[in-house]
């Protein structure tokens, strides 16, 4: 495997990674020391706002291909102090990611993960793995919205049942490493009713909430609300007692921001 492209911007350095079978994914070095790696070639979850899963799933990456993304970036002379499994793919649906988390721990490179949930059984297992942070992409307060925006993932009732059962079994410090993500999309999930329904689910478990903005991608017309509405939503959720943060500038950059990473299956000759 090798890096076949590199593009830098104010906060991010974005790499194209080509594998032996011709498949290609992308990885991003955020802020000079945190590497966001891809876990699958494409994605089966099919979120309509995301470029990574727009062509479906070609295959999962193997353990050497996960580790190799770190190696390739280091070989270019960059430091990788932390790794996040938040690039192309749903990490919980790739069994090699469990081994990868243990391998990262052994190498003292703390691994965090962003997931749409995988399945009830997988989420249960991952809550107890030695990750350095698990962010659960929720993006909805109502089941119908969840089904539309995160179609190939567990529904809200399943997610919150697992969380209610398993968070109390974690130590206080481990519980603090579990957060919820809510990508705000105008006209889709930004109504007061939807946000109140989300807060009602999240509040009993005292989650930290990351509010994400949509990065423009070619195949989707979905967009986030304007800034004043984003601020008002943050204040509304905070007023319920939730601890809320907006997504960082690095995650909002066109170069490598959330949802913008691309995958090509083996034999796919489209240019990136």
- Report the interface residues with ligand SF4, using CB under 6 A: 43, 45-47, 50, 52-53, 88-90, 116, 259
Closer to ligand SF4 by CB, 85 or 163: give it.
Answer: 85
Closer to ligand SF4 by CB, 48 or 240: give it.
Answer: 48
Residue 158 Cα distances to 40, 116, 142, 146, 205, angstroms: 24, 12, 13, 12, 15
Shortest Å distance, C-beta 140 to ligand SF4: 13
Closer to ligand SF4 by CB, 12 or 94: give it.
Answer: 94
Shortest Å distance, C-beta 208 to ligand SF4: 19
Shortest Å distance, C-beta 168 to ligand SF4: 27
Shortest Å distance, C-beta 219 to ligand SF4: 11
Closer to ligand SF4 by CB, 118 or 225: give it.
Answer: 118
Position with the least CB separation from ligand SF4 = 53
Q: How far apart are CA 11 and CA 28, in angstroms?
A: 10
Closer to ligand SF4 by CB, 68 or 154: give it.
Answer: 154
Exposed/middle/buried for 267, CB within 10 Å: 0-12, 13-18, 19+? exposed
Shortest Å distance, C-beta 57 to ligand SF4: 9
Shortest Å distance, C-beta 90 to ligand SF4: 5
| Tokens (6 digits) for 106 | 């052994």
Shortest Å distance, C-beta 139 to ligand SF4: 9
Output phi, psi for 178, to 5 deg.
-105, 125
Closer to ligand SF4 by CB, 76 or 219: give it.
Answer: 219
Closer to ligand SF4 by CB, 116 or 247: give it.
Answer: 116
């Amino acid at each position: 495997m090798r890096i076949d492209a590199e593009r830098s911007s104010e906060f991010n350095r974005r790499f194209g990674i080509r594998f032996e079978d011709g498949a290609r994914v992308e990885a991003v070095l955020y802020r000079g020391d945190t590497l966001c790696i891809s876990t699958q070639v494409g994605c089966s979850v099919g979120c309509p706002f995301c470029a990574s899963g727009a062509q479906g799933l070609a295959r999962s990456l193997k353990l050497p291909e996960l580790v190799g993304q770190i190696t390739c970036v280091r070989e270019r002379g960059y430091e990788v102090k932390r790794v996040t499994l938040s690039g192309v793919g749903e990490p919980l649906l790739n069994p090699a990611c469990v081994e990868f988390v243990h391998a990262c721990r052994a190498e003292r490179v703390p691994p965090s993960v962003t997931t749409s949930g995988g399945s009830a059984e997988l989420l249960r297992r991952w809550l107890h793995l030695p990750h350095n942070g698990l962010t659960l992409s929720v993006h909805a307060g109502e089941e119908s919205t969840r089904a539309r925006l995160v179609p190939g993932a567990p529904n809200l009732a399943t997610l919150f049942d697992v969380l209610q059962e398993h968070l109390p079994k974690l130590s206080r410090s481990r519980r603090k490493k579990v957060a919820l993500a809510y990508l705000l999309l105008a006209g889709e999930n930004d109504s007061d009713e939807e946000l109140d329904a989300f807060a009602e689910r999240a509040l009993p478990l005292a989650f930290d909430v990351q509010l994400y903005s949509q990065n423009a991608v070619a195949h989707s017309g979905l967009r986030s609300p304007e800034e004043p509405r984003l601020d008002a939503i943050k204040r509304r959720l905070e007023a319920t007692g939730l601890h809320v943060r907006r997504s960082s500038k690095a995650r909002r950059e066109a170069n490598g921001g959330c949802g913008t990473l691309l995958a090509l299956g083996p034999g796919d000759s489209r240019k990136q």
